[in-house]
Chains A and B, each alone.
Chain A
């Protein structure tokens, strides 16, 4: 073996691999260099620094819950660290790569059954290997009236996505739509959460809590178990889906615009909302300066104060490009959607000088051919076409994301942008600055918070990638100090992200580690996931 799990001897590892093969069959244990390379992160921050690359020592692909239990028991016997993936498509956050190099990847893609679509109660139960694309086909073939809560893009797993707090246009917070879980624990024991713990599974996916502590959350972004089944609330196709936006040429209008759209959100009238600044997102083809407003916007964004409201207002008036925009999404019976749009128009009319646009209205049933492929996920139709936008930048080696959260208020939005601007102006080379100074879209998938995904493009030049990682660390720290934590992170940076959650001498992490040591004494499940290291690896961590 050229790659061994940490602290393992060659003969022990060979014996463990043989046991894995006894469980899943020889053909589903991958040990050759060629096969193991398929588990490398395709968007690795260490793409051109092989010595830092996180690699799998092997991969094993069970096809059933029982096989997963056996694999975990074998791993305990030999103290083999495992790292579980569902479809392995969490690109930008690690893909199919483990947190601890030398782990054996447990690839659940073969567990790809949709176990139930319950039309009466509006839920479904899936295995981890099912992708959104596969789920869509299944629901369409049954002719069921449900949308698929897909993110962009659609080859990810509903389970993997929800467990990493992923989002969709359909449900917003996908983990919030989770119902019951079935989990293989680090001992190999099998757990069902909530009402699933009763002798009958009648209420497993009907009532969220069961009795006693609510433990679903312990299995998200964690290393406390391998989720093998999960129920999800389904969104019914409505009669109509519409989106509106409200734009202004005044920078300060973002305050009342956001307050208004958030008030509608609180009333339950909108299922999603967002804030943007097209003028502050200057785009030009690579290597070209672009039109004059793009040059002027970049000058303001590169200034330490980011430009005064008056300067932005003037540029907005002169260019005709909006500086403040909010949007809202509505769905339901068409009479209700139309009335909501009318109500929104009235509310925003109270902010003088703003313009209200209905951007799209579509009636169901949809004619898929008539919907642009890159926006199909917005209608619950999974696709890979959203990757098309990567053609606008240098994507030769992919990217990873800096994903902080701020409050869904204009004040917090300006404040976090300013903090990011200062870090970037002080510490980033000019060639790296653009993506962080412009205003990327702020999505309110969560009703009270914006989440961001700032891309760090990975280059062919190791020194640029190192600088990128240094900048990432500075951003994590500067934002963390002010209370803007990340909601999600690439596997390579999860410990430094968790380090920011430091209240009372890292009481949260200490609690999680106590739990880890109690339920996984051999430290076999995903060591280091979310910065939770089992005892035997903890001493060697920074």
Chain B
């Protein structure tokens, strides 16, 4: 019960943070979507963020390139069914490995972190880590990377250390 409450709160927080409904579109029975759609590496599509400017663009970069491995734990509408899921269905690779590494000291899902720095994000995007390959500039441009950094550092309370 407590677990369910916590995850409901996390979901709500995440929705507030991104400013968008995270649901993906079911396809052919629905009327044509009213908005432009964007890629999701979880599987499905997302709509534009209501976050302003470059931070909102960064959300779309994250959804397309990062979410498939770094999203928060997957939730079914039915909480009891969610708890029975295997770790592979519940946690994408990056989130699973970061959970093992940090053991709760920081959130395993990158979008919930408040301590990320642009330098660290840039390093991992261009070098990869573990099974994560480096992303090329033809995939994630330097401008995309800048937007991604703006998005993933939006929760910071302290300014980033100067490089």
Contacts and interface: CB of A to CB of B under 8 A. Distances in A.
Interface of A: 28, 30, 34-35, 37-40, 42-43, 61, 87-89, 91, 95-96, 107, 109-110, 129, 133-134, 136-137, 140-141, 143, 145, 153-155, 237, 364-377, 381-385, 387-392, 395-396, 398
Given A368-B25, A377-B43, A388-B88, 5 more contacts: A38-B126, A38-B135, A43-B131, A388-B91, A398-B133
Query: Sorted from nearest, which 8 A-B pairs have the closest CB atoms?
Result: A384-B68, A42-B133, A383-B43, A376-B43, A109-B138, A365-B29, A368-B44, A384-B41
A139 to B, nearest CB: 8
B97 interface: yes
Given A388-B88, A388-B92, A388-B93, A373 B43 contact: yes
Given A134-B39, A392-B88, A370 B77 contact: yes
Given A141-B33, A382-B43, A107 B136 contact: yes
A374 B126 CA distance: 25
Contacts, number: 154
B89 A374 contact: yes
Interface of B: 23-30, 32-33, 36-45, 64, 67-69, 74, 76-77, 85, 87-89, 91-93, 96-97, 100, 126-128, 130-139
B37 A137 contact: yes
Given A38-B136, A391-B91, A373 B42 contact: yes
Best-surrounded residue of B26, B45, B88 (most CB of chain A within 10 A): B88
B5 to A, nearest CB: 20
B76 A398 contact: no
A110 B137 CA distance: 10
Contact of B92 (A28, A136, A384): A384
A390 B96 CA distance: 10
A357 B121 CA distance: 46
A143 B32 contact: yes
Contacts of B29: 365
A39 to B, nearest CB: 7
B133 A95 contact: yes
A38 B43 contact: no
Nearest to B142: A27
A24 B163 CA distance: 33
B36 A387 contact: no
Contacts of B131: 43, 387, 390, 395-396, 398
A149 to B, nearest CB: 14
Nearest to A383: B43
Contact of B28 (A43, A143, A383): A143
Contacts of B74: 372-373
A366 B26 contact: yes
Q: Which of B25, B32, B39, B138 has the most CB of A within 10 A?
A: B138
A351 to B, nearest CB: 30
A381 B44 contact: yes
Given A141-B36, A365-B30, A396 B130 contact: yes
Contacts of B33: 140-141, 143
Considering residues A137, A154, A384, A395, which has the most beta carbons from chain B within 10 angstroms of its beta carbon?
A384
A369 B43 contact: no
Nearest to B126: A38
Contacts of B27: 140, 143, 145, 237, 364-366
A247 to B, nearest CB: 19
Contacts of B41: 133, 154-155, 383-385
A395 B130 contact: yes
B144 to A, nearest CB: 12
A170 to B, nearest CB: 13
Contacts of A396: 130-131
B11 to A, nearest CB: 12
A173 B27 CA distance: 25
B39 A137 contact: yes
Contacts of A40: 134
